[in-house]
Structure 1
Amino acid sequence: MSRKLEETFTRGDVDDVKALLRENPAVSEERLNANDDTPLILACSNGKMDVVKVLVQNGAELLTGNYFRITPLMKAACNGYKDVCVYLVKSFEHRTEGASDGDEISAQKHILFQTDFKDRTALDWARLGNHVKISRFLERTMEAHIQRNRQAAINRAREQQHQGRIMHNKKMAALMSNAIEESDLDTCMEIARSLGLSREDFELSCEVCYVTDGRYFLDATTPSGGTALLLAVALDYVEIVDELIHLGADLNHENSRGHTPLSWACVCNAVRVLSLLLHSGANLHFVSVRENQTALVHASII
């Protein structure tokens, strides 16, 4: 029976192959001779493209080698069937295209980098057969795969860096909020000086990771609407306000009560800070969403 099956797949009669597969789909993985060749190996070895397509479309395993670990691609490459080589590689890429960038495919599980019992790849077999066009195709495809893997590794490292920034910012924001709640400006400043994360880098990380609700830790807000900058403004601490601004605190951040640092300086009659805020570019015409008032209105009320 195995001899008859071997002849069927070697001869390449598509109708006979289809009939066999209808009768027994598992036949595509049978070992048909002393070398443990599969139907796909035999079809590739003889360049029977139509049979190769039928077998692959019916789920034949692309990576299964024979007793000597020689795979279908190696057979096609050795015997000079470029169209078969291209089809096998494209079919493998199609089957694995659902894998994410983070899913590594080891060399022995990738059609291009599998090796036989003498550590020869399909490219080595193409070179042994002096098939220049196949060699060039495999070289280009392998190089492209290596470049994609390198870029994917770079992208993963960058994403991990951005995720790390976002998580660290979130942690520091929680600590900052607690310190503000306790009116502990010294701790606020320790946190502000320790993180070493600029607003620009944080916003870039949010953009890369599609975080739309991220808040920079220097703008951390308590439930009552307090921020480190508002706390420093209320105390009229010019040096601290200046440092927070230079560290990246939002000069025009409106809290939940409708106040910006400038309007809060007006409410607290913090004249020295008020001058600094204006000099630093605070928006004098900013209208609060909650109260629909400008800093000037707040100042006139006081």
Structure 2
Amino acid sequence: MCGENAPRNRQLDTSGITISGPPPKTLHHLNFTFTFNLQQPNTSIPPDTMSSPAQPPPPPKSPPPTTIQPTQLAQTYATVHPLLLLSLLAARFHALIADPVAELTNALPLLAVLQVAYMTICLPPAGEDHAHHPDEKDREAKKSIPAGMVLRPGKPGYRRRANASSSGNAVMAKVIPSLLSLTLTTLLATPVLALCLVLFGAPVTTHHAETALCAAHMAVLAATALIYTHGVDGAVWKEVWGASRPADAVWGAALGTCVGAWLGAIPIPLDWDRPWQAYPITILTGAYIGHCVGSFLGRSLLFGKRLVLVPGPAPAPVSS
């Protein structure tokens, strides 16, 4: 075939051909531009939390220490109240030795009245702002207007009168919570403290009335004000059971009551043969004294401080 005899590589003769137009661009004349448009992915999760594990919610903030109301009556009665409790104990101490059951029964209503008066006059109820008090300037401005002053010219019959209804509502807003806290103390705190007394060595088969009455006195001293000022706040009661509440008059009195009762049990087993060593006289005496001392220290020297329990050093290994 003729195709087989033709040469494989042929050369094109371009000597007679003229190419008009701009010269062709070589490689170094070409410019290449690349544009990269990087966009952040649309997501509702913040970038810093995409790779980190989910964080638990922060624990609830603990209320600040309870302060005594800023009125002159509250400040005065807060100082007088512990002295009244100690005077009641000293005046009826001989009767307590002679007949503990009868004396504890008769003194319990008087103790409840004193505690209700203390809470109503000196302490803020649960739910009230513990850190801020009403503006003193507004109070002074209201006091500066006489009760008989004419407030509207031309209307002589319109005079400023004392707002008795608001004062009565303010008193009832404190009396009712104090009575509720006293009821909860009787129903809840008294059985718990009676069980604690038994666990710490109180008689199980005898002295049932003494144990119940001693627990009732301790509950009124320790738990009534705590329930009145903090209600059922879980964060507060967690700190109470963990002994980590910042010191104030309420927490100091509760802690002092328990510590005083524990120290008051020390003289009972001693062979002094004294009539005041009988159960539960020394325990109750220690509870009253501890309540007064703890209340004073909590509102003065130790106010706002916490009891920090530091673990001790690890025991050294025993060499064989």
**TM-score (norm. length: structure 1):** 0.22
- Name the structure, 1 or 2, with higher relative contact order (CA <8 Å, separation 6+): 2
